[in-house]
């Protein structure tokens, strides 16, 4: 049985959502963050040597990392859904945005989070550099989402599932303003209204406000 080990308010929401979109059977195990440190509890850290979310187990297999987990689930249970075959005209975009989500965008938000916790002055050169990188990233994404409804064309794919956390839940940790980016805001409304996304968030993080604007 595929088991999704979901740490509350974390990137593992992607995996819950993926399973809901695919309509596959899975067991959901929820874990709460330590109320003081806001980190994963010991039982979650014990699941995988790295000790971070997300983690799945499946017939004795233990896998971490969002991208690896999504590729595994799509390969084993997806039946071609939510991915793009190399022959598809949007395959290159699918590949790029799937990896951009955590390789560049989410990593940038994490660096910004760490930098701000060091409490530098608002005009510190590191913060200015990070803000410039974020502005360029958001402008690029806003441009793309003015051309298509989803990152890899007119249908939702795993590339969207990968990036959506960074636009929504991650803003509870690293706030950034999306008002200058109308195409991203329209995208959040469009994707956030999906029944599978709504089900996933209610199951994984019941009662958590969804940052869709």
Which of 57 and 36 is assigned the larger pLDDT? 57
pLDDT recorded at residue 79: 96
165 part of a folded domain: yes
56 part of a folded domain: yes
Q: Which of 22, 10, 83 is nearest to 2 (CA)?
A: 22
What mean pLDDT is predicted for residues 95-106? Answer: 98
212 part of a folded domain: no
59 part of a folded domain: yes
Do 20 and 71 belong together in one domain? Answer: yes
Ramachandran assignment for 3, one of left (phi > 0), alpha (psi -120 to 50 degrees), beta (any other)? beta
Do 106 and 190 belong together in one domain? Answer: yes
210 part of a folded domain: no
Chain Cα centroid distance, residue 127: 23
Do 164 and 106 belong together in one domain? Answer: yes
Do 103 and 174 belong together in one domain? Answer: yes
Kind and range of the H or E run holding 7: strand 2-7
pLDDT band with cut points at 50, 70 and 90 for residue 160: very high
Do 116 and 160 belong together in one domain? Answer: yes
* CB distance 189 to 212 below 8 Å: yes
For position 30, which CATH number holds? 3.40.30.10
Question: What is the count of structural domains for the chain?
Answer: 2
Do 26 and 98 belong together in one domain? Answer: no
pLDDT band with cut points at 50, 70 and 90 for residue 39: confident
Do 113 and 27 belong together in one domain? Answer: no
pLDDT recorded at residue 38: 85
* 102-149: pLDDT as tens digits: 999 999 999 999 888 887 777 788 888 999 999 999 999 999 999 999
Do 47 and 140 belong together in one domain? Answer: no
Do 14 and 107 belong together in one domain? Answer: no
Q: Name residue, tokens 């979310």.
A: 53
Half-sphere exposure of 131 (CA within 13 A, CB side): 11
pLDDT band with cut points at 50, 70 and 90 for residue 92: very high
209 part of a folded domain: no
What mean pLDDT is predicted for residues 158-162? Answer: 98
* 61-88: pLDDT as tens digits: 999 999 999 999 999 999 999 999 999 9
pLDDT recorded at residue 115: 86
* 3-14: pLDDT as tens digits: 999 999 999 999
49 part of a folded domain: yes
Do 189 and 99 belong together in one domain? Answer: yes
Domain extent for 106: 91-194
Do 54 and 97 belong together in one domain? Answer: no
Strand partners, 6: 30
């Amino acid at each position: 049985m595929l088991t999704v080990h979901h740490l509350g308010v974390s990137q593992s929401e992607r995996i819950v959502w993926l399973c809901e979109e695919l309509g596959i059977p899975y067991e959901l195990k929820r874990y709460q963050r330590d109320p003081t440190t806001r980190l994963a509890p010991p039982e979650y850290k014990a699941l995988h040597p790295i000790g971070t979310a997300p983690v799945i187990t499946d017939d004795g297999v233990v896998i971490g990392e969002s991208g690896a987990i999504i590729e595994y689930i799509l390969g084993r249970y997806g039946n071609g859904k939510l991915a793009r075959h190399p022959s598809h005209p949007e395959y290159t975009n699918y590949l790029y945005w799937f990896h951009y989500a955590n390789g560049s965008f989410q990593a940038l938000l994490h660096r910004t989070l760490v930098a701000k916790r060091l409490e530098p002055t608002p005009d510190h050169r590191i913060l200015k550099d990070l803000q410039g990188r974020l502005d360029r990233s958001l402008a690029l994404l806003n441009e793309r989402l003015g051309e298509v409804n989803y990152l890899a064309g007119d249908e939702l794919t795993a590339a969207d599932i990968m990036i959506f956390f960074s636009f929504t839940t991650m803003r509870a940790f690293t706030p950034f303003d999306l008002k200058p980016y109308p195409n991203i805001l329209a995208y959040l409304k469009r994707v956030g209204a999906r029944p599978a996304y709504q089900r996933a968030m209610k199951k994984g993080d019941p009662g958590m406000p969804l940052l869709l604007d």
